[in-house]
Amino acid sequence: MKKLPDLFVSSVIVAAGKGTRMNMDINKQYLEICGIPVLARTLQVFEDCRFINEIVLVVNEYEILYCKQNIIDEYGFTKVKTLVAGGLERQDSVYNGLLEVDKSCDIVLIHDGARPFAGEKNIIDSIYAAYEFGASCVAVPVKDTVKRSDKDGFVVETLDRSALWLIQTPQTFKYGLILDAHKKALEDGFIGTDDASLVERLGHKPKLVMGGYDNIKITTREDIPVAEAILNCR
């Protein structure tokens, strides 16, 4: 890889979801995997990465104090610059976080707080790709056959698996590009399925960066034993 210039790299970690699919009293980000909360494991990866200058953490507005005391202070995260209240949708939460990054930010990574197994290589590769191409997404090739159905549940076509990827996070961007994309989406009332889709609306093609199949997102109860198995294998 070419040597990067002296960049200021921010990361926006989004942990403002309510975890309703878990059907639990506690939000999924605070559930423990082998004795350590999911969010703490996620933050540790970015805390340890030498390329990351700061972390902006977006959480549920009612959990800011809890998160500060039980995650930030408890585990001694020094790169967390601020905790920001999330919005109604994930997209709103990301936008709130983007507005709080350092004004000298060149590159920003957007990552799910409930995705604790992103590796340092994923982060570094995505930064390099975003610097070169403006936007990047960590992703993995689809393993299974994918079919498109009609509204009645009948197969319409079998898609070419060789061209299909499962998108993960981090998704990484030149700061001005992703901020403009969010502002345009807000102006148009558009809600995308991820941040990259907002950039795509501006005619920009994100570069795919190889991720890992263990870079899972903790979404349902069944993901907890899977996450523990990943840790035990490591």
For the chain, give every domain's residue range: 9-139+165-233
Q: How far is CA 12 from CA 114, 151, 219, 220, in A?
A: 13, 37, 19, 23
pLDDT of residue 22: 45
pLDDT of residue 21: 46
pTM for the full predicted model: 0.94
Domain 9-139+165-233 listed as CATH 3.90.550.10: yes
Written as one letter, the residue type at 34 is: C
Q: How far is CA 124 from CA 1, 2, 152, in A?
A: 10, 12, 44
Torsion of CA 201, 203, 209, 211, to 10 degrees: 10
pLDDT of residue 219: 87
In 63-185, beta strands by DSSP E:
80-85, 107-112, 135-141, 147-149, 155-158, 165-174
Q: Chunked in runs of 10, what are the mean pLDDT values of the chain (234 residues)?
A: 85 82 67 94 98 97 95 98 96 98 98 96 97 98 97 97 96 98 98 97 97 94 92 86
Output the six-digit token pair for 76. 């001694």
pLDDT of residue 92: 97
